[in-house]
C-alpha cells in the first residue's frame, strides 16, 4: 500500500518554527520594522512502516506551512509558547482519529487549549464526526479566540 495524501496537523508549532527561521534570515531596519514577513515552507517525508502490519507500508507525506510574522513599530514580535502532544491514526476506510493535545498555547498561563478526541470523515469532506473534550479553537469559541488574540497583542 502506498499512502500518497494524508492530512497532517502540525499546528502553529511548525509555523512558528518556520517563521522564526525566516525572521532570523531577514535583517530588520527601522524602515521595514512594521512590515509583516510572509513565509511558505514545504516539507516532504517518506518512510516504510515495517512494524504495524505483517507487510511493509510505504508512507509519503508532504506538509505545507504558510504564515506571517508581524512586528510592532519597534520591530519586536510576540512569542507564545506552544506545547502539543497528539496522535493521528489513519484508517483504511479514510477516517482519521486524533487524540491528545493538538493545541496548547501558554503565556505565563494557559491561553487556549484543544484536547481530547476527534474523528474526521474521509477526504475530501474531512468534517468532524465525533468530538470529545474541549476544542474551543476548532469550534470557534469567541471568548477563547479573544484570549488568544489578546495574548498576541
Residues 80-139 have pLDDT tens digits of 777 778 888 888 888 999 999 988 888 888 999 999 999 999 988 999 999 999 999 999
Does residue 59 sit in the same domain as residue 82? no
Domain count along the chain: 2
Does residue 85 sit in the same domain as residue 57? no
Residue 47: CB atoms within 10 A of its CB come to 10
Can you point out the beta strands (E) in the chain?
A: 2-3, 37-49, 57-69, 81-82, 85-90, 96-106, 110-120, 128-132
- Better-predicted residue by pLDDT, 116 or 21: 116
- Domain of 9 in residue numbering reads as 1-75
- Nine-digit cell string for 59: 508512507
- Better-predicted residue by pLDDT, 52 or 3: 52
Q: What is the average pLDDT value for the chain, to the nearest integer? A: 74
Does residue 103 sit in the same domain as residue 65? no
Mean pLDDT of 43-69: 76
pLDDT of residue 141: 92
Does residue 60 sit in the same domain as residue 10? yes
Does residue 91 sit in the same domain as residue 151? yes
pLDDT of residue 88: 85
Sign for the CA dihedral angle at 32, 34, 40, 43 comes to positive
Rounded-to-integer distance, Cα 141 and Cα 146, Å: 9
- The terminus-to-terminus CA distance of the chain in angstroms comes to 47
pLDDT of residue 33: 54
Mean pLDDT of 40-65: 79
Does residue 34 sit in the same domain as residue 50? yes
Does residue 107 sit in the same domain as residue 149? yes
Q: Is the pLDDT of residue 79 over 80?
A: no
> pTM score, two decimals?
0.53
Q: Is the pLDDT of residue 12 over 60?
A: no
Amino acid at each position: 500500500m502506498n499512502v500518497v495524501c494524508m492530512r497532517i496537523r502540525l499546528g502553529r508549532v511548525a509555523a512558528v518554527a518556520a517563521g522564526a527561521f525566516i525572521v532570523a534570515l531577514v535583517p530588520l531596519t527601522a524602515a521595514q520594522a512594521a512590515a509583516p514577513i510572509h513565509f511558505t515552507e514545504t516539507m516532504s517525508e517518506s518512510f516504510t512502516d515495517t512494524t504495524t502490519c505483517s507487510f511493509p507500508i510505504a508512507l509519503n507525506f508532504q506538509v505545507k506551512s504558510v504564515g506571517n510574522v508581524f512586528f510592532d513599530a519597534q520591530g519586536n514580535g510576540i512569542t507564545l509558547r506552544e506545547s502539543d502532544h497528539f496522535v493521528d491514526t489513519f484508517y483504511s476506510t479514510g477516517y482519521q482519529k486524533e487524540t491528545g493535545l493538538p493545541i496548547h498555547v501558554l503565556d505565563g498561563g494557559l491561553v487556549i487549549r484543544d484536547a481530547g478526541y476527534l474523528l474526521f470523515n474521509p477526504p475530501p469532506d474531512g468534517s468532524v464526526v465525533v468530538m470529545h473534550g474541549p476544542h474551543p479553537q476548532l469550534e470557534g469559541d469567541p471568548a477563547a479566540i479573544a484570549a488568544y488574540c489578546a495574548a498576541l497583542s
